[in-house]
Amino acid sequence: MAVGVLALQGSFNEHIAALRRIGVKGVEIRKPEQLQNVDALIIPGGESTTMAKLAEYHNLFPALKEFVKMGKPVWGTCAGLIFLANKAIGQKEGGQELIGGLDCTVHRNFFGSQIQSFEAELPVPELAAKEGGHESFRGVFIRAPAILEAGPEVEVLADYPVPAKKLTDSKFAAGNQQETTESKGKVIVAVRQGNLLGTAFHPELTADTRWHSYFLKMMGKSGQQNGSKEEDLSDNQQLRTDLPIFQ
């Protein structure tokens, strides 16, 4: 079993290292034909506009879209989440091409600039139920996006509280002035829809590999073959790699 990691720019090395810790081979993907040799794909965090330009240069978009349509598991973190969304707002002039597949509206830079990056404990009941460990996960948000709206087939795995005015202003910018009680005062930061997984934060920058294990199990029987290795690493899942917190 091999998991591809889009290696155009961003934190692809960190994802490959996390996969290695749970006994899975990560393969750097830079050309369309390389996607034929992997069973799943991770699109890492980075600078989404730069990644989009490089993907276009290497003619990767048709192959990436086909990979999603084939039903193979794809996980997007931060910039990768933007790529997988059906709609993105807050983009630079001219926008960028999206792969699509997630029935979501993503605000590209919801949490602000680089110096407004932060860490937060996120309640993750679904992740804890499937992978064990803490009921929370330390999310590392670096110039991070957020999901403002998600369709009925999208399963919300984590959300984060924000000032209601910020959320209202962002939804107004998205062209939706209606705000439901359920969404008031929080944004979505992790979702799953079928074969697609998206996180606005960077699990690869922590020592907690539960999101990577969760993603592998989306691969079905191939992922289950690694169950014993995942269980053996349960102690490591308690470790944290704390980064500076910027307020």
26 annotated among ligand-binding-site residues: no
Q: Is 78 a catalytic residue?
A: yes
Q: Does residue 202 carry a catalytic annotation?
A: yes
Q: Which of 149, 204, 212, 230 is catalytic?
A: 204
Catalytic hit among 78, 107, 119, 212: 78
CA 37, chain centre distance (Å) = 22
The answer on whether 153 is annotated among ligand-binding residues is: no
Q: For the packed helices 12-21 and 210-217, what is the interaxial angle rounded to 10 degrees?
A: 80
> Which of 78, 66, 10, 77 has the alpha carbon at shortest distance from 33?
66
Q: Is 108 annotated as a binding residue?
A: yes
- Token pair recorded at residue 213: 């294990």
* 81, 41 contact by CB (below 8 A): no
Query: Which residue carries 């960190």 as its tokens?
Result: 14
Residues with Cβ within 8 Å of residue 102, at least 6 apart in sequence: 76, 81, 84, 85, 86, 154, 191, 193, 196, 198
Q: How many CB atoms lie within 10 A of CB 176?
A: 12
Count of CA atoms in the C-beta half-sphere (13 A) of 107: 24
Structure-token pair, residue 242: 């704390």
Beta bridge partners of 188: 147, 159
42 among the known binding-site residues? no
CB 153 within 8 A of CB 103: yes
What the block records as the tokens of 41 is 């794909």
- Single out the catalytic residue among 107, 202, 212, 230: 202
Known binding residues:
46-48, 108, 142-143
Active site residues: 78, 202, 204
Known binding residues for L-glutamine:
46-48, 108, 142-143
